[in-house]
């Protein structure tokens, strides 16, 4: 049986398991966009595993092991649908913990680790694998620890931010005013009802001055009375943006090094990094829009639209991984990758089908015979 056929059968089996579990078990927050997204990630996991098993050079295996770990979270995203379906308060907090530690925390940590490791592999080609992992893990854990430390110090950190604490105080005054006056309070009405505080480490550290209080109420007033979910998820979206910025920074470092040094690189690696640049940029944009949206329903709808857009990028990423797998399982691909590992300075860069397309459409192929685009048919 052909390898591609095995991959398709494996993926269809995973999809069947997903569909059967959705049919038989109670689920929550299911969306078609989310299902398509994590189903594509499951396909990418299968392709990455196939690449790891067939990579001709040992050092390249670890690049795709990292991506396989990242895409394995697709199975978690499906399992998450079956958690907290009872609707109790304890289950809701369990979903919150899993969201901040896995759906946001682990997702962006493993994404950053995969991208940072690939960049370190290019920068320090001759380093031993464990040294590359030490550097990559050190960098990824430094950023992750700095951004996500509050969640480990306080599991309910997202409910203890100044925005949420002030919102709760305003929401109590809001309901009190409505019950007593049978009308919706204005900002000025709320400003006359009780004090507001500044916070440090989740605790009150001082009473705000009247001008500060007025400005604070004006900021939070649009979230009254029922849009607090946006404020709860705001720190998670902010940290997602920060981790994506780290990823983008290392991708730009990757391309900057290639531009300056022009080292020979494994086939399709550059295309993969470019596509992850697009994916991370979309994650930043989607998170930023979600933060700026006031109503939770609107934020959820925007996120669903964002998932559809990201799905298009995932399709291209799956295509790039599939082309990488097809290349390394060919005779010429295996030879090229082994030569690249043993004597990289003696190997010119492989020109893949995407390079051929660019040359055919935008360049005079008779002039493009240098190191950048060596003709695959040249004698």
For 64-86, the pLDDT digits (tens) are 999 999 999 999 999 999 887 77
pTM: 0.85
pLDDT at residue 358 tops 60: no
> For residue 206, what are the β-bridge partners?
198
Tokens 């990292």 map to which residue? 66
Tell me whether residue 92 is in a domain: yes
- Band the pLDDT of 162: cuts 50, 70, 90: confident
**Residues of the domain holding 193:** 162-223
The answer on 133 and 24 residing in a single domain is: yes
The answer on 183 and 303 residing in a single domain is: no
How far is CA 48 from each of CA 18, 51, 90, 244, rounded to the nearest angstrom? 20, 5, 37, 22
CA distance 216 to 198: 10
The answer on 304 and 200 residing in a single domain is: no
Tell me whether residue 343 is in a domain: no
**Residues 6+ positions from 48 with CB-CB distance below 8 Å:** 64, 65, 67, 68, 71, 321
Tell me whether residue 47 is in a domain: yes
The answer on 184 and 141 residing in a single domain is: no
Average pLDDT over every residue of 105-128: 93
pLDDT at residue 39 tops 90: yes
CATH classification of the domain holding 74:
1.20.1070
pLDDT, greater one: 327 or 36: 36
Tell me whether residue 189 is in a domain: yes
Find the farthest-apart pair of alpha carbons in the chain and give their distance in angstroms, rounded: 89
* N-term to C-term CA, the chain: 34
The answer on 237 and 216 residing in a single domain is: no
Tell me whether residue 201 is in a domain: yes
Number of domains in the chain: 3
The answer on 280 and 197 residing in a single domain is: no
Tell me whether residue 313 is in a domain: yes
Tell me whether residue 202 is in a domain: yes
Helix (H, G, I), strand (E, B) or coil at 125: coil
pLDDT at residue 32 tops 80: yes
Tell me whether residue 228 is in a domain: no
C-alpha dihedral (253, 259, 262, 268), degrees to nearest 10: 70
Average pLDDT over every residue of 334-357: 58
The answer on 19 and 138 residing in a single domain is: yes
The answer on 41 and 181 residing in a single domain is: no
The pLDDT, as a whole number, for residue 366 is 55
The answer on 216 and 252 residing in a single domain is: no
pLDDT at residue 103 tops 70: yes
**Residues 6+ positions from 173 with CB-CB distance below 8 Å:** 185, 190, 193, 194
The answer on 356 and 246 residing in a single domain is: no
CA distance 269 to 118: 9
Asked which of 223, 246, 272 is the last residue of a domain, the reply is 223
How far is CA 293 from each of CA 124, 171, 240, rounded to the nearest angstrom? 43, 19, 16
Asked which of 223, 245, 266 is the last residue of a domain, the reply is 223
The answer on 312 and 219 residing in a single domain is: no
The answer on 314 and 359 residing in a single domain is: no
């Amino acid at each position: 049986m052909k390898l591609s056929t095995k991959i398709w059968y494996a993926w269809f089996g995973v999809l069947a398991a997903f569909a059967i579990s959705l049919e038989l078990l109670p689920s929550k927050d299911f969306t078609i966009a989310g299902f398509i997204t994590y189903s594509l990630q499951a396909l990418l996991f299968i392709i990455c595993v196939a690449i790891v098993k067939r990579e001709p050079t040992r050092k390249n295996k670890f690049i795709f092991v990292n991506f396989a770990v990242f895409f394995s979270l697709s199975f978690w995203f499906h399992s998450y649908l079956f958690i907290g379906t009872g609707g109790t308060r304890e289950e809701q907090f369990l979903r919150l913990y899993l969201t901040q530690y896995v759906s946001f925390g682990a997702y962006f940590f493993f994404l950053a680790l995969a991208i940072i490791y690939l960049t370190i592999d290019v920068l320090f080609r001759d380093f031993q694998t464990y040294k590359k992992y030490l550097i990559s893990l050190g960098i990824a854990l430094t950023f992750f620890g700095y951004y996500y430390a509050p969640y480990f110090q306080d599991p309910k950190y997202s409910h203890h931010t100044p925005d949420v604490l002030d919102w709760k105080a305003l929401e109590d005054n809001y309901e009190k005013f409505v019950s007593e006056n049978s009308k919706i309070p204005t900002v000025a009405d709320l400003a006359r009802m009780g004090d507001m505080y500044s916070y440090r480490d989740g605790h009150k550290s001082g009473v705000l001055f009247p001008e500060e209080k007025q400005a604070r109420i004006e900021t939070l007033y649009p979230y009254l009375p029922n849009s607090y979910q946006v404020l709860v998820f705001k720190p998670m979206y902010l940290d997602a943006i920060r981790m994506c910025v780290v990823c983008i920074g290392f991708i730009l470092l990757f391309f900057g090094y290639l531009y300056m040094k022009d080292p020979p690189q494994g086939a399709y690696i550059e295309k993969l990094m470019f596509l992850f640049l697009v994916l991370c940029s979309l994650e930043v944009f989607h998170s930023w829009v979600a933060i700026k949206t006031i109503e939770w329903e609107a934020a959820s709808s925007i996120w669903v639209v964002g998932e559809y857009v990201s799905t298009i990028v995932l399709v291209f990423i799956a295509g790039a991984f599939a082309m990488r797998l097809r290349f390394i399982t060919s005779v010429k691909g295996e030879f090229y990758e082994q030569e690249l590992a043993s004597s990289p300075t003696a190997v010119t860069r492989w020109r893949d089908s995407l390079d051929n397309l660019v040359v055919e459409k935008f360049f005079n192929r008779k002039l493009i015979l240098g190191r950048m685009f060596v003709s695959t048919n040249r004698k």
